[in-house]
Amino acid sequence: MLVVDVTVAILLTIGMFFMFIGAIGLLRFPDFYTRLHATGKCDTLGEGLIIVGLIIYHLFHYPGTPLVTVKLLFLIIFIFIANPTAIHALVKAAYRRGVKPWRWGEGRR
């Protein structure tokens, strides 16, 4: 069981690192569009890694209920499709409403 535990720990740590990158990007970047770059994608990947780690954990520690892994797989697929679509909807609305993109050398917004 040690190999499984170490794999799950590594996957969870890497996923957590990407989610931290997402939160830090939300604070550090100077403009609305660039902030969405950082969070929308790093968040999605970090979540995917965490849930994959939990699927591996579930397969080895709860062998009686294998259908739950299918539910978690649906969750991953749904997040990979839905998160970029929500980001695209927000960016399209902002562009139509006239939020100007930031160029190198301007002040923070």
The residues in 20-79 that bind another protein, with binding defined as CB under 8 A, are 20-29, 31-47, 50-51, 54, 57-58, 61-62, 65, 67-68, 70-72, 74-75, 78-79
What's the min distance (Å) between Cβ of 16 and another protein? 5
- Please state the closest distance from residue 31 (CB atom) to another protein, in A: 7
Residue 88: what residue type? H
Output the smallest distance, CB 87 to another protein, in A.
Answer: 6
Q: What is the DSSP string of 21-41?
A: HHHHHHHH-SSHHHHHHHHHH
Helix, strand, coil content of the chain in percent (nearest 5): 80, 0, 20
Q: Does 88 bind another protein (CB under 8 A)?
A: yes
7 is an interface residue for another protein by CB under 8 A: no
Task: Out of 10, 16, 56, 59, point to the residue binding another protein (CB under 8 A).
Answer: 16
Cβ neighbors of 83 (< 8 A, separation 6 or more) are 40, 43, 44
